[in-house]
Amino acid sequence: MPDTDELLDCLRSRSAHVRAAALERAVLAALNWHPDDLPLRRLGHCYRELSASILSASAAGGLATGGLGNMSDREAAVIWGVIYGLRSFHVADRILTPTIDFTKGLTEVGGGWGPIALWSALRGGTVRIVEQSAARRSFGASLFSSLGLSADWSGRWRGPSDLGDMQASVWSFSLREMAGDPDAAHRLLLQSLDHLGPDGRIVVMESGARAGSEFLMEVRDRMLKAGVAASAPCWAKGMCPMRAAEDWCHFTWRLGLGPIGQRIAALAGRKAHEVHVSWLSFGRVVEGGGAGRVLAVRSLGKQGLRLTLCRGEGRQVVDVPRKLARSHHAFEEDLVGLNVWVPSAEASFRVRAIDELKVVSDDDVSHGT
Ligand SMILES: C[S@@+](CC[C@H](N)C(=O)[O-])C[C@H]1O[C@@H](n2cnc3c(N)ncnc32)[C@H](O)[C@@H]1O
């Protein structure tokens, strides 16, 4: 299967461009749809309608949960595959490696066709997907099997036993939709953590708009009160410093759509080059401190980069010589979301220079090293 092997390699690529184009190939192959036969205008129209209903619900502080209009299952699968699901697949690549040990099994809850599960299965992880929509399960099952990957599928959420015998559970853009409010959401997560056991981890991703982030912060407050640590991206034990600054915690990455997704987005008048997300990881490990999470990166030209860090107790701005930053990561935006160790940084708000910038894993931070 040389073609499939090459496709699998591209899906595992660290390059967002390669990954996005590969996912498009995989989605269309699973749907048995030749790229030249795609009704792009129609798909652009469908995406515009769906995106408008999501945005207007979000502006009103709610969520659009239906919104598929008169799209066929196949058309919906393309939109969920090459646009929305691709974004989750991209974000998984940024946040999951340092956050969870997916080799001990992962369940994606409210998984749609399973973009997070796909990310993990591509790396040899055992995966389960809990999804109420038969159409999305059916498309996901075709996609996984056309790639020679396996996954367990189950329907509407019945309770924590649906998580199976896995150590991690990821709720990607689904917790708010499933639980409705932060009280119900935190109960759902507490019961799920009990099921996952002492080493269990839960990662929740929501929209990077204020409403998605506020929802997560409300859930976080309740989890902290219940003695559960929010171990990533933050390890602040009190109020979120971003909230104290009347901002909201979210991350923006330049993780673009593939060529077909870009054409659909252009026809829909939507942007195609960025992903905005708020996320949290919950576990029973409570220690932490010392490092900083990169919230934003701004170029200072030849002077280097200005990083805005969240250090738990507050925000901090540090200027980093370009050479130093580049020695760790090829692209500036790769730094967003990472934990960095800044040894010479004092607790003061502004630090002009640092001796060393070291990227650390979330586990190192959790264990206080
Ligand atoms: C916005 S989609 C996210 C899909 C996928 N996780 C992703 O990142 O692309 C939310 C999904 O949650 C599913 N969902 C909502 N409530 C559910 C429930 N009670 N049980 C199972 N799935 C549910 C929806 O059908 C939908 O596919």
- Please indicate, yes or no, whether residues 17 and 114 belong to a single structural domain of this protein: yes
Does 253 share its domain with 318? no
pLDDT digits (tens, 9 = 90+) for 10-35: 999 989 999 999 999 999 999 999 99
Q: Which long-range contacts (CB under 8 A, 24 or more apart) does 28-34 make?
A: 28/78, 28/260, 29/146, 30/139, 30/142, 30/143, 30/146, 31/74, 31/77, 31/78, 31/139, 31/142, 33/74, 33/78
Distance 358 CA to ligand 1 centre (A): 37
Q: How far is the CA of 177 from the centre of ligand 1 (A)?
A: 7
Q: 126 with 166: CB under 8 angstroms?
A: yes
**319 and 360 housed in the same domain:** yes
The preferred substitution site among 131, 136, 152, 207 for testing ligand 1, maximizing ligand atoms within 8 Å of CB, is 131
Q: What distance in angstroms lies between residue 132's CA and the mean position of ligand 1's atoms?
A: 7
Distance CA(263)–CA(173), nearest Å, equals: 24
The rounded Å distance from CA 203 to ligand 1 centre is 15
* Alpha-carbon dihedral angle through residues 132, 136, 141, 146, given to the nearest 10 degrees: -170
Handedness of CA 175, 216, 95, 17 (dihedral sign): positive
- Domain final position from 283, 307, 336: 283
- Tell me how many domains the chain contains: 2
How many angstroms does the Cα of residue 56 sit away from the middle of ligand 1? 19
With the most atoms of ligand 1 within 8 angstroms of its CB, the residue from 169, 174, 207 to mutate is 174
Q: Give the structural domain span for 335.
A: 292-366
Token readout for 6 is 């090459």
C-alpha–C-alpha distance, residues 174 and 169, integer Å: 12
CA 221 / ligand 1 centre spacing (Å): 24
- Give the domain-ending residue among 257, 283, 309: 283
- Which CATH number characterizes residue 320's domain? 2.40.50
Ligand 1, atom nearest to 108 Cα: 6
End-to-end Cα, the chain, rounded Å = 45
Q: Is 93 helix (H, G, I), strand (E, B) or coil?
A: helix
203, 97 contact by CB (below 8 A) = no
pTM, two decimal places: 0.86
Q: Using the mean position of ligand 1's atoms as its centre, give its distance from the Cα of residue 317 in Å.
A: 37
With vertex at residue 75, the alpha carbon angle to CA 7 and CA 88, rounded to the nearest 5 degrees, is 55
The pair phi, psi for residue 158, each rounded to 5°, is -110, -15
> Residue of the nearest CA to atom 16 in ligand 1?
178
Closest Cα to atom 4 of ligand 1: 112
Q: 199 and 136: one domain?
A: yes
Cα(251)–Cα(278) distance, rounded to whole angstroms? Answer: 6
Q: Of ligand 1's atoms, which has the minimum distance to the CA of residue 155?
A: 21
Identify the segments of the chain with pLDDT beneath 50.
287-289, 330, 343-356, 364-369
> Any long-range contacts for 346-353 (C-beta under 8 Å, 24+ apart)?
347/313, 348/316, 349/314, 349/315, 349/316, 349/317, 350/316, 350/317, 351/316, 351/317, 351/318, 351/319, 352/319, 353/319, 353/321
Do 99 and 235 share a domain, yes or no? yes
Residues with a CB atom less than 6 Å from ligand 1:
84-85, 88, 108, 110-112, 115, 130-133, 136, 156-157, 172-174, 177-178
What distance lies between CA 291 and its chain's CA centroid? 21
Are 118 and 221 part of one and the same domain?
yes
Residue 20's CATH number: 3.40.50.150
User: Are 234 and 278 found together in one domain?
Assistant: yes
Same domain, 306 and 220: no
Q: Is 183 in the same domain as 326?
A: no
d(CA 270, CA 200): 38
Q: Which residue has the tokens 């515009």?
A: 48
Q: Each residue of 156-196: pLDDT tens digit?
A: 999 999 999 999 999 999 999 999 999 999 999 999 999 99
Mutate to test the pocket of ligand 1, among 87, 109, 113, 132 (most ligand atoms within 8 A of CB): 132
265, 313: one domain = no
Estimate to the nearest angstrom the gap between the alpha carbon of 218 and the chain centroid.
19
Residue 267 shares a structural domain with residue 173: yes
Q: Diameter of the chain by CA atoms?
A: 59
Packed helices 40-59 and 259-268: angle between N→C axes, nearest 10 degrees? 70
Picking from 283, 314, 330, the residue at the C-terminal end of a domain is 283
Note whether 98 and 130 are same-domain residues.
yes
Quick one: which atom of ligand 1 is closest to the CA of 170?
Answer: 6
